[in-house]
Amino acid sequence: MNDWYKWKCFYTNANSIIAKMDELRHKIFIGNYDIIAVTESWANDDMSDSELWINGYHMYRMDCLTDCGKKGGGVLLYIKDTIRSSALSVLVNAEFHDSIWCKLDSLQNFLVVGVCYRSTASSRKK
């Protein structure tokens, strides 16, 4: 658990993940990643956790805002289930919705990891 510097990470901008879950699962299986971050998941309340689930990982998700009236947004964070992790919802900012943060614990230390997405179409204020 103290070998954090050896963890393999993977990031992708999915541009709608639901139709690409089999491809993502395959890449993760082949790459044996510890932490996976996905932006633009386009996940929403209509998608169950089981549709986005990856065997051997804890999943943390922040779905697209349903009231925005447009496609885009949403983030997913997968942490290998051999790593003790917990959501850090206190770090999610209401003005910057597309982010998710986790605390990864060892016996003596912890590490905060997260994924956030800021659309190129978003206003400067955010």
Please tell me the predicted confidence (pLDDT) of residue 6: 81
3-state secondary structure of 82: coil
**Which domains, from first to last, does the chain contain?**
4-116 (3.60.10.10)
Strand ranges, E, within the chain: 9-13, 35-39, 57-62, 75-80, 84-87, 99-105, 110-116
Strand partners, 100: 115
- The helix (run of H) or strand (run of E) holding residue 44 is none
| pLDDT tens-digit map of 43-93 | 988 899 999 999 999 999 999 865 555 567 899 999 999 999 999 987 776
Residue 113's region, left for phi above 0, alpha for psi from -120 to 50, else beta, is beta
What average pLDDT is seen over the chain? Answer: 86
Distance CA 14, CA 73 (A): 10
- Count CA atoms within 13 Å of residue 1 on its CB side: 13
| Helical H segments across 15-103, by residue range | 21-31, 49-52
Distance CA 50, CA 61 (A): 12
Please tell me the predicted confidence (pLDDT) of residue 70: 59
- Count CA atoms within 13 Å of residue 55 on its CB side: 5
| pLDDT tens-digit map of 30-40 | 999 999 999 99
Please tell me the predicted confidence (pLDDT) of residue 69: 52
Six token digits for residue 48: 């169950």
